[in-house]
Amino acid sequence: MTPHPPGVGHCDELQYALRAFRTSAHVTQRWGDRLAAVLSGGGRLLAAGNGGSAAQAQHLTAELVGRYRDDRPPFSAIALHADTSSTTAIANDYGVDEVFARQVRAHGREGDVLMLLSTSGASANLLSAADAARSAGVRVWALTGCAPNPLMAGSDESLCVEAPSTATVQEIHLVAVHMICAAFDAALERGVRGTPAAGSAASKGRAASTGRAGRAAQRKRR
């Protein structure tokens, strides 16, 4: 009997994991819809991960700032690990566990979304980032490996991939990223209404408009 090459076994593992993950399509759909509302309203996506998960997180932000399939306006999305000067300075001055949390406190605004990717779901710097985000009113979504895990527990919502190897978890995370992007673009095409984030230009514009209307009403009453 001829043994299968290692790559074939990997394909079989990926196929099995993907079949199981397909049942999570409703979650990626909801995340894409919500992200379209937040970003079109002037909000922002922050994303982070370590190692291969950092690459997946940066893939997501690139699809939003650039485009996924068809041409559309750019949206605000920042991969926190991509700023090497900030991450190394923070690690040096405050410790590795703070490299993402401090950036979340700097960039995150109420109503924004923080996406955290981790195959283990136990990275200390991501757990610290989740804590910082919740304190700032930033919604936390996590893409992790097998459940249960600490990051899953520390997030508002999570998608957990049941797979035995780190490589397969990362590959399913990339599928999830593309599913979110597809749902995001579809929501924009449907004309989803943006939800102005606190502190965003849209939110400030609405507040200013409301203020002017209120002052005009007061003048009329006088």
Question: How many angstroms separate the CA atoms of 45 and 38, rounded?
Answer: 8
Cβ pair 182, 64 in contact under 8 A: no
Cβ pair 158, 141 in contact under 8 A: yes
pTM: 0.85
At residue 193, the pLDDT reads: 72
Mean per-residue pLDDT, 96-118? 98
Compute the chain's Rg from CA coordinates. 20
What would the pLDDT profile of 164-221 be if each residue is shown by its tens digit? 999 999 999 999 999 999 999 999 999 987 766 655 444 444 334 334 444 444 444 3
Q: Which of 106, 102, 151, 103 is nearest to 124 (CA)?
A: 151
